Chains A and B, each alone.
Chain A
Amino acid sequence: MKLDHSQPLEYSSEQGRLNILGFWIFIGAEVMLFGTLFASYFTLEGRHGSGPSGAEIFEIAPVLFETILLLTSSFTVGLAIHAMRLNNKKAMMTFFIITLVLGLAFLSVEIYEFTHYIHEGAGLTVSAFSSALLTTLGTHGLHVTLGLFWGIFILIQVAKRGFTPETANKSFIFSLYWHFLDVVWIFIFSFIYLKGMM
């Protein structure tokens, strides 16, 4: 395999560079996926039938908490990549673990939030609004869940194999994914919750 040592490890192999570009394009597709969910949510937002509306069920505290958890995890995964580029395996793994723990915390709060909604009478099947809300949030949550498993796999590989062009590449791509989920959350936070509570 030809390696190009002038670049960070994750870019050093040809396949690695292809993977990164491919993942960016995948993110483009994900933009469209969430764009469609948003389009549907905004269309159905006011149509809550006999169920509760957004303003009636949204609570600011857990949502803010989720936002801060996710923003911080996005920061720490950035630090993990920085540490990887300094070739500091221990720091990288620490930041990575912090990221995943924050992600797990985020998920727990989200699960609490869901049970709260269902308790308030906004279950999945109640109204167009509740279906769209829970599906949009759920899709994001599912992405986070998948990310957690994927992150754990990568962590195991870094622990076992150290930094190789492959593991570095995977870690970098994972960080892209994680930042992207953060961006999606920002839009959920702004245009579902804050707009809904305004």
Chain B
Amino acid sequence: MEFFERFAIPHPSPIIYASMVAIGITLLAIIAGLTFFKKWGYLWREWLTTVDHKRIGIMYLISALLMLFRGGVDALMMRAQLATPEAQLLDSQHYNEIFTTHGVVMIIFMAMAFIIALMNFVVPLQIGARDVAFPRLNALSFWLYFMGAMLFNLSFVIGGSPSSGWTSYFPLAGNEFSPSVGTNYYMIAIQIAGIGTLITGINFIVTILKMRAPGMKLMKMPMFTWSALITNLIITFAFPVLTVALAMGTMDRLFGTQFFTTGNGGMDMLWANLFWVWGHPEVYILVLPAFGIYSEIISTFAKRNLYGYKSMVASMVIISLLSFVVWVHHFFTMGQGAMVNSIFSITTMAIAVPTGIKIFNWLFTLYKGSIRFTVPMMYSLGFLPIFTIGGVTGVMLGMSAADYQYHNTMFLVAHFHLVIIPGVVFAMLAGLTYWWPKMFGFMLNERIGKWAFWFISVGTCVAFFPMFISGLDGQARRMYTYSESTGFGFWNMLSFVGAVALAIGFIIIVYNIYYSTRYASRDIGSDPWDARSLEWATHTPVPEYNFATIPEVDSSEAFWDSKYNGHKLFKGKLKEIHMPNNSGVPFIMSALFFVLGFSFIFSIWIGVIVSLLGICACLMHRSFEKDHGRHISLEEVEKTESELRGGK
């Protein structure tokens, strides 16, 4: 019996029991459904073993949307609890758990997955490639991420959620103050997903550097591809820091090492330091792809080429360096002297400059453009002012002397939500709407989409602007309640209203997906937006080999030139095509990682050993295997091509 006791929830509530039942029923329903409709084989062949970047992108997308839902429910619960003074909806422990999982799920499992989803789907198409450099590793990345996400979410029903914040500062996150397994989940689930992300980083750098279509020089790459390159560069160099920090945190909790303890020389501040050495670059990892998406969308719907291409690239390169030298601004109040704080204050303000340059470039692109107010464009236009407010308040926080006043208040919460929501969430929704026809062969309804846009953008402002005020009035973040006499009640109620509006916006999007799936026209051609870059040059739906003949490029808007300036994209003749084989190993290996992680979390050492051996066996299999891929014959290519052309 004792063995099983560790799996119990230390601090249960009816919601948790209800979710256990719900999860159980959903799982059973899925298994029953797959069996009943005889879809196991299909699932395995077409999805679990796929190495196709488009399908992997779609799986990332679905996972990200699921996580958005999970994180969103957390957010609503928090806002509901704070809407009125001294509310009893959640107790302090549950509130702590919820803000922790909200942060982790949104940043690591939602936002990261969403940007990687879009990069996966779009980047190879934009550079005219047939797949990424290492398709097998790409599948491994996804499955590691997926298993990490599932493991993290399992904490809700088995063993208890982490509750020391998404930053998980020690000593709070140490065994003494967080005795439940929750923080083990944090350390290990993020570790597994993080390894997947690191692999993605390497994979995409090589893909973008080496697999571009002939003629596409670096300075002729579409802006989204540029942003993906820089993002992946930052990923590759930032994630190892997280790996090490998490490993040390895990060892402190499981093996009694003394890195972040408060006795025997341990230094809790070291965790905060390492966390933010990764953490600040991480916020740029999230926002740079968004910048790329906006660049694509704004130039498409302003019908102009992007203003200041070179300065756009230069500012991203500068960001890639500066983002690694500002991290201390997250703990100005920790006790380092004025000299250190001044240095990092200056670097922090410097990083606002390249960001500002980009804003002006977008404005100049819009200036005198003939603007089409589509849904993606509306998100882009909404992004500009809201993000600017978020960014400017960031500069306020970046002044170390002033930060003593703002730090750990709702003012900070307002800042980062007002950069992340327009910067990342709007961009994801814009990108999703923009590339949806390429992914699924029909467009999302514009009218419903605009409703969603208004709910989401107004909701964002109503939910987060009040926090500036209550924050300056002294409302601390991460407090589960406050007394009536503080006067925070009104602002928090307003925030709650905004949060509900946001939620309605997302529900409208879900409805839009349903509605458009049923009613939207399938007869949209391959370029419904009259767009400018290569991903629109191939058919819809995209054949598995992307391009029957590899396009030849001589400008950053080759597809536009081919439509209007007589550039010839496809010169070669059809040939047989070499493609990578599917493989089940990435899935199996990641499942073993899941077992490994779970065993670590609960200190079940036999499980650790068995799954490690399994992982080694997978690696060994990979080392010895001979895999030369497969060929799609000329006839087959011709057949697919003529069908797709006819279907247009």
Contacts and interface: CB of A to CB of B under 8 A. Distances in A.
B210 A166 contact: no
Interface string B197-218: 0100111011001110000000
B325 to A, nearest CB: 14
A18 B240 contact: no
A76 interface: no
Contacts of A98: none
A78 to B, nearest CB: 22
B267 A43 contact: yes
B603 interface: no
A47 B202 contact: no
A79 interface: no
Interface stretch (A23-31, A54-62, A84-92): A23-31
A150 B623 contact: yes
Given A40-B270, A128-B264, A131-B251, A49 B258 contact: yes
* Most A Cβ at <10 Å: residue of B210, B236, B243, B623: B623
A157 interface: yes
Interface residues of B, number: 45
A143 interface: no
A65 interface: no
Interface string B224-244: 000000000000111111011
A26 B195 CA distance: 12
A124 interface: yes
Interface string A11-52: 000000110011001101110110111011001100111110
A127 interface: yes
Contacts of B265: 44, 47-49, 127-129
B270 A50 contact: no
- Categorize the interface residue count of chain A: 35 or more
A12 to B, nearest CB: 14
Contact of B620 (A29, A125, A129, A153): A153
B620 A135 contact: no
Given A21-B210, A40-B259, A128-B264, A28 B624 contact: no
A57 to B, nearest CB: 15
B263 interface: yes
A127 B241 CA distance: 22
Contact of B264 (A18, A21, A49, A153): A49
B257 interface: yes
Contacts of B259: 40, 44, 128, 131-132
B589 interface: no
A154 B624 CA distance: 8
Contacts of B241: 32-33, 36
B236 A37 contact: no
Contacts of B42: none
28 contacts: A22-B206, A28-B236, A32-B236, A33-B243, A36-B240, A36-B277, A39-B274, A40-B270, A40-B274, A43-B273, A44-B266, A44-B270, A47-B267, A49-B258, A49-B265, A124-B251, A124-B256, A124-B257, A125-B256, A125-B258, A126-B258, A126-B264, A128-B264, A131-B251, A131-B258, A131-B266, A135-B251, A149-B616
